[in-house]
A and B are shown apart, each in its own frame.
Chain A
Amino acid sequence: MSKGSDFDLAIQAKQLSRRFGDLKAIDRLDLNVQKCRIYGFLGPNGCGKTTAIRMLTGLLKPSSGEIQVLGLSLPKDAEKLRLRMGYMTQRFSLYNDLTVKENLQFIAKIYGLAGKKQTRRISELLSTYGLDQKKQQLAGSMSGGQRQRLSLAAATLHKPELLFLDEPTSAVDPENRREFWEQLFDLCDQGTSILVSTHYMDEAERCHKLAILEDGAKRADGTPDELMSNMAAQVVEIEADGLRQLKQRLIALPDVITAAQLGSRLRVLVKNTVHEPLVFLQHNTKLEADKLNIVRPSLEDVFITCTGGGRQ
């Protein structure tokens, strides 16, 4: 993949750090997010995803480092950026005691959208996000999926060039989640750059590019395919009986990163330093060769390989 010139970048961060007292929430983060792409932040809870997004939106001042968002340098030009970006917070942050329509009207007014333009844009959003029937309903009485669609409608009302989504699907069922991603791709197709944080693997896999964060530091980044093929481990699946005991024995080995049971199989991550993982495992398990198979790594394997060190 071509690196792309600075001109094509929606977000560029260099050596971005943020401390809260002694805690390093974000530690020397480098970030290049291309325009018209969906970029993902994948990481466990408390890894600094929200802190990073808050700095990139100008809500939080970095302790050190440089940020360029849409050609504006932050936090200096934070106010200018507000007109060009949308932010969907992790928690529902519209008004529970206003109806869907009132919420959207309020946001429209805040962005200076008036009269016919406002009416047109709001009815457009209501139909795009399937909220037509719900427009007189109080936001507080809606389901998680509906509220999330309302939040997205509100965040995109002023047609921002850049959209930040902080764990947008944490309170949403799988079906709504799929629909939601379809809408994100529609937005992306219309030229919106999107940065989304998540701790769901299936969502991360949909991103054009993603960064795996742990303890405020970037452990890996690239397209999901790149990440999987550049992984520092191989995946072997073992079919056998007594998997619980086998697992305990295997994870005690220094060259095995982790082992996880999937039904009747055990999925073992072996470090790349072992050249013949099948031979190595055969030797250690005393099983026949046809019980062991090398399989294609998943994003979850990548995630575990990258972040395992921090688990202790």
Chain B
Amino acid sequence: MMRSLYRIQAIFFKELVQLKRDKMTFGMVVMIPLVQLMLFGYAINTNVRHIPVALVDHSQTAISRVLVQTVEATQVVTVTQKYFDLKSAQAALEQAQVRAILIIPHDVSQRLARHRSVGFGLPASSDEETSRPIAQWLVDGSDTMIAAAIKGLKNMPLAELLSKPANRGTPTFEVTLFYNPEQRTAVNIVPGLLGIILTMTMIMFTSGAIVREREQGNMEMLITTPIRSIELMLGKIIPYIFIGLIQVFIILSLGYFVFNVPINGGLGALFSVTLLFIAASLTLGLVISTIATNQLQSMQMTIFVLLPSILLSGFMFPYEGMPKAAQYIAEILPATHYMRLIRGVILRDVGFTDMMPDIYWLIIFTAAGLTIASLRFKKNLD
């Protein structure tokens, strides 16, 4: 037992020395989380703003100009082009100069007067037969996010248009936003990014580290020594646990100081679920390293895992909105479970009992991965 620990320690320190000399990898440990967090924290914004649109104003009246101003005041769209005919506007849409076209008809004032949203009394104007939409949007519907943002304008109130006091009326539902009341995207992105960056670096580093030994011929020497496969693997992955924790520290402190992402849960819970996830990712890296024969292959397999981890784990799109089949795949990935856990801890301060199913899965995944890797890693050349 002592000898075993001693051998693990030998691998561990050797790995640290090699890592210290490998300036590139060492730099990646710090730079990957730093650059990606700054990039995604600022760049990813699910609240769509300032979509460029074209205007075709057939009425050319004061009221149409006020209408355009009101629409722009929502900040959803910005009129970048103006055309007199629909044809050239459509050409602009086709060339992707604008994402939508707003067409204001000749009779916009008559339509407005009868429209309910303007709020002139009750007479027959509210009648569906006489009341018609005021203007029309032609939208490039290929990007669903943009389409949805413009669709959101469908029923916008226009009371302010005629300087009347806003008549908001009573909403059907009262909505109160918990956990992220200002609806800042960073609050959701930063904890999620933790899962993505750890998935990427942890799997890549471990799979690469072992495949490198094989590629450079060191494995041929190692297997003639008394070291056991499990000792070699543990010695190899322990240094990366610390690296994972350094990355977590970088991401969370940046998230806290730059993006004001609060850490509502306890640090103990945060630490334990993160360690579990790191362990799960590392064992996945180990399994990859027993399959790949060179570093290029291990890199390809890392990306094979990384892509679904980004797209299916709930990092980009809500898990609930995915089809059943995709959900099953997502359930296999450790990133999905970690995404739930870490958002739960950081944003909602969830108790351990509610996290148990996800924690169990990560434990099972780690144990299974370690078993598969040790079984596959043979100490001979057959």
- A97 touching B22, Cβ below 8 Å: yes
Determine the distance from Cα of A272 to Cα of B369 in the docked complex, in whole angstroms: 65
Residues of B within 8 A of A57 (CB): 224
- Given the known interface contacts A57-B224, A59-B380, A59-B381, the answer about A97 and B21 at a Cβ–Cβ threshold of 8 Å is yes
Determine the distance from Cα of A58 to Cα of B380 in the docked complex, in whole angstroms: 7
- A95 touching B6, Cβ below 8 Å: no
Determine the distance from Cα of A107 to Cα of B218 in the docked complex, in whole angstroms: 12
- A110 touching B17, Cβ below 8 Å: no
Residues of B within 8 A of A86 (CB): 224
Does A94 touch B at the CB level, under 8 Å? yes
Residues of B within 8 A of A83 (CB): 226
- A89 touching B220, Cβ below 8 Å: yes
Determine the distance from Cα of A92 to Cα of B18 in the docked complex, in whole angstroms: 17
Does B324 touch A at the CB level, under 8 Å? no
Residues of B within 8 A of A59 (CB): 220, 223-224, 380-381
Choose, from A30-38, A74-82, A181-189, the stretch at the interface.
Answer: A74-82
Does B7 touch A at the CB level, under 8 Å? yes
Does A54 touch B at the CB level, under 8 Å? yes
Report which of B14, B220, B224, B382 forms a contact with A102, defined as CB distance below 8 A.
Answer: B14
- A91 touching B3, Cβ below 8 Å: no
Residues of B within 8 A of A94 (CB): 218, 221
- A114 touching B223, Cβ below 8 Å: no
- A114 touching B6, Cβ below 8 Å: yes
Q: Which 8 A-B pairs have the closest CB atoms?
A: A109-B10, A93-B221, A87-B224, A93-B217, A91-B217, A82-B226, A110-B225, A89-B220
Does A281 touch B at the CB level, under 8 Å? no
CB-nearest residue of chain B relative to A105? B10
Determine the distance from Cα of A79 to Cα of B231 in the docked complex, in whole angstroms: 14
8 Å CB contacts to A: which residues of B332-382? 379-382
Does A280 touch B at the CB level, under 8 Å? no
Q: B87 to nearest A CB, angstroms?
A: 66
Report which of A75, A92, A112, A154 forms a contact with B7, defined as CB distance below 8 A.
Answer: A112
Report which of B14, B222, B380 forms a contact with A98, defined as CB distance below 8 A.
Answer: B14
Residues of B within 8 A of A91 (CB): 217, 220
Q: B221 to nearest A CB, angstroms?
A: 4
- Given the known interface contacts A83-B226, A95-B14, the answer about A89 and B7 at a Cβ–Cβ threshold of 8 Å is no
Report which of A54, A89, A98, A102 forms a contact with B217, defined as CB distance below 8 A.
Answer: A89
Interface residues on A, range: 20 to 34
- B381 touching A87, Cβ below 8 Å: no
Does A111 touch B at the CB level, under 8 Å? yes
Report which of B10, B18, B224, B380 forms a contact with A97, defined as CB distance below 8 A.
Answer: B18
Does A129 touch B at the CB level, under 8 Å? no
Residues of A within 8 A of B254 (CB): none
Q: A264 to nearest B CB, angstroms?
A: 45
Interface centre among A75, A79, A96, A97 (most CB of B within 10 A): A97
Q: B353 to nearest A CB, angstroms?
A: 44
Does B142 touch A at the CB level, under 8 Å? no
7 example contacts (A-B, Cβ-Cβ < 8 A) are as follows A83-B226, A86-B224, A89-B221, A92-B217, A102-B14, A110-B10, A110-B227
8 Å CB contacts to A: which residues of B213-237? 216-227
Interface centre among B3, B224, B226 (most CB of A within 10 A): B224
With A82-B226, A95-B18 already in contact, 13 other A-B pairs whose C-beta atoms are closer than 8 Å: A59-B381, A78-B379, A85-B224, A86-B224, A89-B220, A93-B219, A93-B221, A96-B216, A109-B6, A109-B9, A110-B222, A112-B3, A112-B7
Does A60 touch B at the CB level, under 8 Å? yes
Interface residues of B (CB under 8 A from A): 3, 6-7, 9-10, 14, 17-18, 21-22, 216-227, 379-382
CB-nearest residue of chain B relative to A57? B224
Report which of B216, B222, B382 forms a contact with A61, defined as CB distance below 8 A.
Answer: B382
Residues of B within 8 A of A87 (CB): 221, 224
Determine the distance from Cα of A91 to Cα of B219 in the docked complex, in whole angstroms: 11
Q: A162 to nearest B CB, angstroms?
A: 12
Residues of B within 8 A of A75 (CB): 380
Q: B220 to nearest A CB, angstroms?
A: 5
Residues of B within 8 A of A54 (CB): 381
Q: B27 to nearest A CB, angstroms?
A: 16
Q: A78 to nearest B CB, angstroms?
A: 7
Residues of A within 8 A of B381 (CB): 54, 59-60
Q: B274 to nearest A CB, angstroms?
A: 30
Determine the distance from Cα of A96 to Cα of B7 in the docked complex, in whole angstroms: 20
Determine the distance from Cα of A89 to Cα of B227 in the docked complex, in whole angstroms: 17
- B220 touching A107, Cβ below 8 Å: no
- A60 touching B380, Cβ below 8 Å: yes
Determine the distance from Cα of A93 to Cα of B382 in the docked complex, in whole angstroms: 19
Residues of A within 8 A of B220 (CB): 59, 89, 91, 93
Report which of B7, B18, B218 forms a contact with A93, defined as CB distance below 8 A.
Answer: B218
Q: A58 to nearest B CB, angstroms?
A: 7
Determine the distance from Cα of A87 to Cα of B6 in the docked complex, in whole angstroms: 22
Determine the distance from Cα of A61 to Cα of B380 in the docked complex, in whole angstroms: 8
CB-nearest residue of chain A relative to B9? A109
CB-nearest residue of chain A relative to B221? A93
Determine the distance from Cα of A75 to Cα of B7 in the docked complex, in whole angstroms: 23
Determine the distance from Cα of A95 to Cα of B17 in the docked complex, in whole angstroms: 11
Determine the distance from Cα of A9 to Cα of B183 in the docked complex, in whole angstroms: 80
- B17 touching A98, Cβ below 8 Å: yes
- Hey, what's the 0/1 contact readout for A84-127 against B, CB within 8 Å counting as 1? 01110101111111100010001101111010000000000000
